[in-house]
Amino acid sequence: MRRWREPLTVLVFLLPVLVLFAMFRFVPMLGAVGLSLTDYHLGGDWRFVGAENYRSLARDAVFLGSLRTTLGYAAVYVPLTVVVALGTALLLHAVPRGRGLFRAALFAPYATSLVLSAVVWRWVLEPTGFLEQPSLVLPALAVVGAWKGFGYAMLILFAGIRNAPADCLEAAKVDGASAGQRFRHVLLPALRPALFFVVVVETVGALQVFDTVYVLTGGGPVRASYTLGYAVYDFGFRYFDVGRAAAAGVAVWAIVLLVSLTQRRAFGRNP
């Protein structure tokens, strides 16, 4: 009995958090899966339709187009955010004094309200016409997203740089390795866990993007920025087709899971 005392004590302390996590994560997720198997419309009756909503989405050109748009956005947003975050983390590490001040200033956009940031960027971008051209709207949204989100990734990567093996870096420097060689062969391998975490988190955020699109473009022009998140919103709150919206949400979750597992495999078993 004594050997079980410590695990039971830990479980007792964790139980309130686990209950809340289940209530606000697993129960809604199971509810969404259940709704996705019905034809429920807000305020109306419903009946069980099985996988019909999923088959309908697979044939829906609008939904498939939103998938392509979201992947296109992620293809621009994720590399841009990671590169900017890594660059600022390296610069921050090189600053001899005032790191706390610079860190706070660079992190400030992340702590700002996303809707407020989008409104400010709308004032900036509207005169330029970027939001009105189908070929430029996704890069413009990606820049706004990267400006808003790079601060968090920067802090993660900065912590990874601080934990890099200083003795190995110094030895490489003594041996005549250039800054680029030290970064590639010593620092970058040490940053793999942090980079993996950042890439996955930013990819998940990119695949679920909605707020920025809603405020800046409303999915336009001509659906050029109509993302998966906006499609889910439209199904549920514009057409009140809750069953279809739930199916789209489950599909987004499955896509996010698939992409995350693919990234896990790409980074190796032990990133």
Q: Which CATH number do you get for residue 129?
A: 1.10.3720.10
Assigned domain for 78 exists: yes
How many domains are contained in the chain? 1
Element containing residue 136 per DSSP (H, E): helix 134-162
φ, ψ of residue 48 to 5 degrees: the values are -75, 125
CA–CA dist 234, 226 (Å, integer):
10
Chain segment 192-249, per-residue pLDDT in tens = 999 999 999 999 999 999 999 999 999 999 999 999 999 999 999 998 999 999 999 9
SS3 content of the chain, % helix, strand, coil (to 5): 80, 0, 20
Assess if residue 135 is contained within a domain: yes
Inside any domain, residue 172: yes
Place of tokens 């709308």: 122
Stated pTM of the model: 0.88
CB atoms within 10 A of CB 147: 17
- For 222, the domain range is 52-267
Is 8 buried (19+), middle (13-18) or exposed (0-12) by CB count in 10 A? exposed
pLDDT digits (tens, 9 = 90+) for 109-139: 998 888 888 888 989 888 888 999 999 999 9
- Is residue 41 in a domain? no
CA proximity to 212, closest of 89, 109, 128:
109
* Arithmetic mean of pLDDT over the chain: 88
Q: What confidence tier does 183 reach under pLDDT thresholds 50, 70, 90? A: confident
Residues 6+ apart with CB under 8 A from 259: 203, 207
Other CB atoms closer than 10 Å to residue 181's CB: what's the count? Answer: 13
Residue 8 CA to residue 160 CA, distance in Å, equals 34
Average pLDDT over residues 154-176: 81
Of 16-25, 33-42, 227-236, where does the model show the most confidence?
Answer: 227-236
Residue 32 counted as domain residue:
no
In a domain, 87, yes or no: yes
Q: What is the pLDDT of residue 198?
A: 95
For residues 141 and 117, the answer to whether their CB atoms sit within 8 Å is no
Q: pLDDT at position 86, please?
A: 94
Two tokens at 70? 């979201």
What is the distance between the alpha carbons of residues 134 and 128, in angstroms, rounded to a whole number?
Answer: 14
12 lies in a domain?
A: no
Any domain includes 244: yes
Q: Cα separation of 114 and 131, whole Å?
A: 18
